Chains A and B, each alone.
Chain A
Amino acid sequence: NAGVTQTPKFQVLKTGQSMTLQCAQDMNHEYMSWYRQDPGMGLRLIHYSVGAGITDQGEVPNGYNVSRSTTEDFPLRLLSAAPSQTSVYFCASSYSVDRMNTGELFFGEGSRLTVL
Chain B
Amino acid sequence: AQSVTQLDSHVSVSEGTPVLLRCNYSSSYSPSLFWYVQHPNKGLQLLLKYTSAATLVKGINGFEAEFKKSETSFHLTKPSAHMSDAAEYFCVVSDTGGFKTIFGAGTRLFVKA
**Contacts from A to B (Cβ < 8 Å):** 4, 31, 33, 35, 40-45, 48, 50, 56, 90, 92, 94, 97, 101-105, 107-110
Contact-size category for B:
20 to 34
* Contact status A105-B44, CB under 8 Å: yes
Known contacts A41-B105, A110-B43; is-contact A102 B99 (Cβ 8 Å):
no
* B87 → chain A closest CB, angstroms: 14
**How many Cβ-Cβ contacts under 8 Å join chain A to chain B?**
67
Closest beta carbon of chain A to B55's beta carbon, Å: 16
Which among A31, A41, A44, A92 is the interface contact of B99 at CB below 8 angstroms?
A31
B residues 91-111 in Cβ contact with A at 8 Å: 94-101, 103-106
Which among A35, A40, A94, A109 is the interface contact of B98 at CB below 8 angstroms? A94
Interface centre among A42, A94, A97, A101 (most CB of B within 10 A): A42
A109 and B96 contacting across the interface, CB-CB below 8 Å: no
Q: A40-B105, A90-B43 are in contact. Are A104 and B49 (CB under 8 A)?
A: yes
Q: Is the CB of A101 within 8 A of B98?
A: yes
Q: Is B83 an interface residue (CB 8 A)?
A: no
Known: A101-B96, A102-B32. 13 other contacts (CB 8 A): A33-B101, A40-B106, A42-B4, A42-B103, A42-B104, A43-B103, A44-B103, A92-B44, A102-B49, A103-B32, A103-B94, A103-B98, A108-B43
Cross-chain contact of B96 among A35, A92, A103, A105 (Cβ < 8 A): A103
